[in-house]
Chain A
Amino acid sequence: MLIVEICMGTCCHLMGAQDLLDVLDALPADQRRLIEFKGVTCFKNCGKGPSVKINGNFLANATPELLFEVLQTNLQ
């Protein structure tokens, strides 16, 4: 199981955190089952948002494309 935490704080929201949720819909169903998405209020990394944590590993300046790529790497 892959735990993906997305920051929903002010800064990350403005930098496009909501778009990261679209990655959810783009995933094939069999992959989606392997991922648990969580919202987090703040990672205290506001200058480098949007921030995502994948199984505890930090991903700064995340974009939907970058997140998709990292998820694919982690799922393999």
Chain B
Amino acid sequence: MTLHAEVNIAQLCKTGEELCGDNVQITRTADSLIVVVSDGLGSGVKANILATLTTKIASSMLARGASLDDVVETIAQTLPVCRERKIAYSTLQILRIDHFGNATLVEFDSPRTLLSRAGHVMPFPAQTKTVGGKTVLAGHFELQEDDWVVLVSDGVIHAGIGGLLPLGLGWEGLAARLAEDVVNATDTSDICKSLLSCCEGYYLGKPGDDTTVVAVKVRRPRRLNLMMGPPVASEHDADVVRRFLAAPGQKVVSGGTTATLVSRVIGKPLKVSLEYHDPNVPPIAYLDGIDLVTEGVLTLNAAVDRLRAIPELRRSTRKDGASLVARLLMDVDHIHIWAGGAVNPAHQNPLLPSDMNIKLQVLGRLRTQLEALGKIVQIEWV
């Protein structure tokens, strides 16, 4: 079974600092998710540079297929040396999860990564080994649906020092808190928010260290199919629509001609809504068996803008086609775009503004934005 690893980050900066000395890089490759967390020596700009260098080197090397051993060795040899302390230092946590849930973890000098399954919280299983003269912890584990992995920087473990807890929250305290939180958490942002607000509370609002929480949840992928434009060869229309309807996940059809085509193939009437909510977005339509039917390029172009402002999109109650499609896209992981190659005569009108004419351009913007949000996008030309 294919699994999807959902990931979220939350950070606090040490009091008085504008930059966080912890850095997190999240990379999705064709077959896996790579999360790299680093806590740089000290705080502020110097720590930020060290941490960013570490995570950037690690994630770029891993994304290009380097082994974990090579990454640790490279980082150990290349970090710049601090002028005051005469050492080059940053912690390192690397988590890699493939589409089958196989997880690999490497930790160097960081708090133990937490693993939660069915309400039980334990350290992610790992053994010590020596790489490039450094002693690291490394482990493999096969994750299942609904497992959680939480990576933290030491700011979380020490939460409360100088505040409410003289000895800090500690790993056990964090594990107990996580065990309570996972019960009611629906997604990774819930865990990030609750753990971070817990730390902020113990620090009495004045964090004594940079504090980072990265939560990963493994679950079944949520899928959506978006059909835009009729197939290039009309004799394939029925075939493509049937494949589209048989694909797993939600169905969205964008474009009047495409919607008419789908309606014809499935033999159900297409009903255009005459209520409109936004003068810039044409109305939606209704078709049995399809979750949402919208106009094509104008709606998707506006949907990209909506997706650029996710918090606003979550708050808004707008019901125009672009907001509706953006909300559906925001909540899924895998998006399969069925892009029809037929030339649209409507787009050949010289009176139209030139920046909207091509489907390709809109698809490109949509893809870039969705990928920036961590979605996996597949475009199939039909």
Binding site for B on A (CB under 8 A): 6, 8-11, 13-15, 17-18, 21, 37-42, 44, 46-47
Contacts and interface: CB of A to CB of B under 8 A. Distances in A.
Contact of B352 (A14, A21, A40): A14
Contacts of A18: 276, 279, 282
B58 interface: no
Contacts of A17: 282
Interface stretch (B11-19, B22-30, B159-167, B253-261): B253-261
A14 B282 CA distance: 9
A10 B295 contact: yes
Interface of B: 255-257, 259-260, 270-274, 276, 279, 282-283, 285, 295-298, 345-347, 349, 351-353
B150 to A, nearest CB: 46
A44 B348 CA distance: 12
A contact face: mostly helix, strand, loop, or mixed: mixed
Contact of B257 (A6, A15, A39, A41): A41
Given A8-B256, A8-B282, A39 B272 contact: yes
Contacts of B296: 10
Contact of B345 (A13, A38, A40, A46): A46
Contacts of A10: 255-256, 282, 295-298, 346-347
Contacts of A47: 345, 349
Contacts of A21: 274, 276
Contacts of A44: 345
Nearest to A44: B345
Contacts of A39: 271-274, 283, 285
